[in-house]
Amino acid sequence: MIINRTFEPQKYEFNSQNAIFKKSLKFQKNQTFDSMQLDTLYSKALQFEFLSVEEGVFLHENAPTTELMHVANELRKAQKPDNKVTWQIDRNANTTNVCIANCKFCNFFRPPGHKEGYITTIDEYKEKIEELFKYGGNQLLLQGGHHPELGLKFYTDLFKELKSYYPNLKLNALGPPEVHHISELEGLNHAETLYQLKEAGLDTLPGAGAEILTDRVRRLISRGKCNSQQWLDVMRAAHQLNITTTSTMMFGHVETIEERFEHFVQLRQVQSEKPEDSKGFLAFIPWTFQDVDTLLNKIRGVENATTSEDYIRLIALSRIMLPNIINIAASWLTVGGKTAQICLHGGANDFGSIMIEENVVSAAGAPHRFTYKTIQESIKEAGFEPQLRDQEYNQREIPENIVEQVINY
């Protein structure tokens, strides 16, 4: 496919984000590149071929932003031909903030014995779940720290008890690092742990804690967590058990550009190994490192230097590099609604969740919020039809008695 290199972003005429977009079109100008090679790579991408790490890096370094967006948008239209942008209502509740992993980007955790350490009680869950239902949600995104004393029985009992009170509640719970941690505590393999969690009520497994799936990066920022192979193996085991998962990337810290593309290739490989009847990774959600008050920032001086354009390019490259993951979500929580709107024209087809409660990236500076009304307005403003969904991407009707959350923080 030959790209018209006079392609202009006339489509992106909505208000202030256009200013951000035009201001930062650095890849549009002053670049010398091999246009034939770019066209070859675009053609490969448009045929859903897997691009290599080197090819991805070449696009990252040389392709104009508008061209990347155009190719990604074509791929998105081929995979998701309707004009809908999906979104979700859920609540991120935390099982415990006690953690021994000591990630350098995390302001949420407290070490064992700390006076601010907590384990959420059933009464607190009930209050959170009643409020979740009031705001139209049907799912808890349930995550927490690597507590040294909470083993498999704690989680299976918790899931069973929550499901006994709320049989229709969906549990999108834990993540590969927590599953690995529980497996280590119990001396079980990942499949055995996941099987018992599923039997107890786990519905889906979030792709949390991926950060960047190379061990060099993980040694620098999250040494206490599972390594990249272990993260991927938990997901392989989940797919074998037909547990639907998602995948993520936290970028903009100590990783190299090559390492971002190695991350894509690892995810794509695991997805290509999933059983045919398993949904595998149903979505990919990249977000930017939030640096406020983190050890990574205070001790190593690492700042989140990613621009809106960097994020838009990363979304487009996600669509291009991950042709076997159908949903690409824009993380408005970390980059803001305006940047996320532009991403909908460059590969993203999902706006994530309105997040009635979120305590982890918010603790490191992510300030953005939507209600069920404002997220739909934002999607419409970008030129799409909003569609409420669940974690398995089934469409939902907006509940009749839904109450709009008051955002006062």
Q: Which listed range, 85-93, 106-114, 313-321, 330-338, lies at the site for ligand SF4 (CB under 6 A)? A: 106-114
Name the DSSP letter for residue 6: T
Does the protein bind ligand SF4 through residue 108 (CB under 6 A)? yes
- CA quadruple 144, 147, 150, 151: dihedral sign: positive
Pick between residue 109 and residue 166 the one whose CB is nearest to ligand SF4: 109
Strands 84-88, 170-173: parallel, antiparallel or unpaired by DSSP?
unpaired
Among 70, 76, 146, 389, binds ligand SF4 (CB under 6 A): 146
> What distance in Å separates the CA atoms of residue 314 and residue 328, rounded to the nearest whole number?
11
Pick between residue 175 and residue 280 the one whose CB is nearest to ligand SF4: 175
Does the protein bind ligand SF4 through residue 323 (CB under 6 A)? no
Does the protein bind ligand SF4 through residue 289 (CB under 6 A)? no
Q: How many CB atoms lie within 10 A of CB 278?
A: 17
> What distance in Å separates the CA atoms of residue 248 and residue 267, rounded to the nearest whole number?
9
Does the protein bind ligand SF4 through residue 173 (CB under 6 A)? no
Does the protein bind ligand SF4 through residue 99 (CB under 6 A)? yes
User: Binders of ligand SF4 among 219-248, rule CB under 6 A?
Assistant: 222, 225
The tokens of 399 are what? 């509940």
Does the protein bind ligand SF4 through residue 109 (CB under 6 A)? yes
**C-beta of residue 375 within 8 angstroms of C-beta of residue 341:** no
State the minimum distance, in angstroms, from the CB of residue 146 to ligand SF4: 5
Pick between residue 1 and residue 100 the one whose CB is nearest to ligand SF4: 100
Long-range pairs, 297-304, Cβ under 8 A, ≥24: 299/104, 300/104, 300/254, 302/253, 302/254, 304/252, 304/253
The number of helices, as runs of H, and strands, as runs of E, in the chain is 16, 10
Does the protein bind ligand SF4 through residue 102 (CB under 6 A)? yes
Q: Which listed range, 19-27, 101-109, 247-255, 286-294, lies at the site for ligand SF4 (CB under 6 A)? A: 101-109
Among 56, 136, 145, 346, binds ligand SF4 (CB under 6 A): 145
Residues within the interface to ligand SF4 (CB under 6 A): 99, 101-103, 106, 108-109, 145-146, 177, 222, 225
